[in-house]
Amino acid sequence: MSTFVIYELMDKLLLKTDRLLKLRNYSSKTRESYLSYINQYLDFVKEGNLNHNQKTVEDFLLIKQNNKLSPQTINLALNAIKFFYSEVLLNAEKINLRFAKRNKKLPIILSRTEINRIIKATDNPKYRLMISLGYGCGLRISEVINLKVSDLDIDNLVIHIKNAKNKKDRITVLPEKLQNDLRNLIAGKSAKDYLFSSNRGGKLTTAALQKVFRKSLKKAKITKPATFHSLRHSFATHLLENGVDIRYVQKLLGHKNIRTTQIYAQVINPQLRNIKSPLE
Q: Is 247 a catalytic residue?
A: no
Question: Does residue 151 contact residue 192 with C-beta atoms inside 8 Å?
Answer: no
Q: Residue 254: is it exposed, middle or buried by C-beta count within 10 angstroms (0-12/13-18/19+)?
A: buried
Active-site option among 126, 165, 189, 215: 165
Q: Is 232 a catalytic residue?
A: yes
3-state secondary structure of 69: coil
Instruction: Give the residues across from 158 on adjacent strands.
Output: 153, 173
Active-site option among 34, 37, 41, 264: 264
Name the region of 157 (left: φ>0; alpha: ψ -120 to 50; beta: rest).
left
Q: How crowded is the C-beta side of 184, counted as CA atoms within 13 Å?
A: 7
Q: Residue 210: is it exposed, middle or buried by C-beta count within 10 angstroms (0-12/13-18/19+)?
A: middle
Q: Is 7 a catalytic residue?
A: no
Among 117, 129, 110, smallest CA distance to 175 is for: 129
Q: Is 117 a catalytic residue?
A: no
Active-site option among 64, 128, 232, 233: 232
Active-site option among 117, 128, 140, 233: 140
Active-site option among 126, 148, 229, 251: 229
Rounded to 5 degrees, φ, ψ at 117 are -65, -40
Residues whose CB is less than 8 angstroms from the CB of residue 154 and which lie 6 or more positions away in sequence, other chains included: 174, 179, 182, 183
- Residues with catalytic annotation? 140, 165, 229, 232, 255, 264
